Amino acid sequence: MGHRTVSFIESIAARYPGMPIIYIGILPTPLRWHVRDEAVDSNTIVSRFAEEQGTVTYVDLSEWVLNNGSPDRSLFRSDLQHLNAAGYEAITPPLKSFILNIF
């Protein structure tokens, strides 16, 4: 999964040279908690790739959707995969702060 993401990012970078790219890592969700190790591996691949590039920035917002080490179900829609309004409210301040710090 991570290598496909890197290929996708590379294709965007080739099409728009010099454009800053911000990639938000895969968030842990209740629905996909059983495959969290695969998501962590993918995020690691993308994060390492981003470190090597000058125009790609990796952002990890996982800690803002976790509660005692597991996804906080109250932050997700009934499908347990997509953030609800409260979930977006939880990740917006750290994301906004991060973006303001790099631009």
Q: Show pLDDT as tens, one digit a residue, over the chain (103 residues).
A: 899 999 999 999 999 998 999 999 999 999 999 999 999 999 999 999 999 988 899 999 999 999 999 999 999 999 999 999 999 999 999 999 999 988 7
Inter-residue contact 39 to 32 (CB < 8 Å):
yes
pLDDT at 54: 80
Tens digits of per-residue pLDDT, 65-83?
Answer: 999 999 999 999 999 999 9
Count CA atoms closer than 13 A to 17's CA, side-chain side: 1
| Parallel, antiparallel or unpaired: strands 70-71 and 21-24 | unpaired
